[in-house]
Structure 1
Amino acid sequence: MEQKPHQPFTDLDVWKKAREFKKELESLAKTFPLDEKRRLSDQLIRSARSINANIAEGHGRFTYKDQLHFCVQARGSLSETLNHLIDAFDAKYITQDQLSFHKQKYDEIERLLNGYITYLRGKL
Structure 2
Amino acid sequence: MNNDINKLEIYREAMRIGEHVWNVVITSDYYAKATVGKQFVKATDSIAANIAEGYGRYHYKENMQFCHYARGSAEETQTWIKKSANRGLMEKEAARQLYRDLDTRKKRLNAYIKTIGKPTTPKRTTTTPTSDP
TM-score, normalised via structure 2 length: 0.83
* Conserved? CA contact 1:13–1:112, under 8 Å: no
Alignment of structure 1 residues 1-124 onto 2, 5 Å: 5-120=1-116, 122=118
- Larger helix percent: 1
Runs of 4+ that moved beyond 4 A: none
- State the 1:90 CA deviation: 1.2
**Unaligned residue ranges in structure 1 (runs of 5+):** none
C-alpha separation in 1, matches of 2:117 and 2:74: 19
C-alpha separation in 1, matches of 2:32 and 2:92: 20
TM-score, normalised via structure 1 length: 0.89
- State the 1:121 CA deviation: 6.1
C-alpha separation in 2, matches of 1:49 and 1:88: 16
* Conserved? CA contact 2:32–2:89, under 8 Å: no
Q: Give the structure 1 partner of residue 122 of structure 2.
A: none
C-alpha separation in 2, matches of 1:90 and 1:54: 28
* Conserved? CA contact 2:54–2:63, under 8 Å: yes
C-alpha separation in 2, matches of 1:35 and 1:80: 20
Q: Which has the larger radius of gyration?
A: 2
One-letter amino acid of the structure 1 residue matched with residue 61 of structure 2: K
* Conserved? CA contact 1:9–1:55, under 8 Å: no
C-alpha separation in 2, matches of 1:122 and 1:11: 18
Give deviations 1:81-108, integer Å, cap 9, x for gaps.
1110100011121122011110122022
Percent of matched pairs sharing the same residue: 25
- State the 1:36 CA deviation: 1.7
Between 1 and 2, higher relative CO (CA 8 Å, sep ≥ 6) is seen in: 1
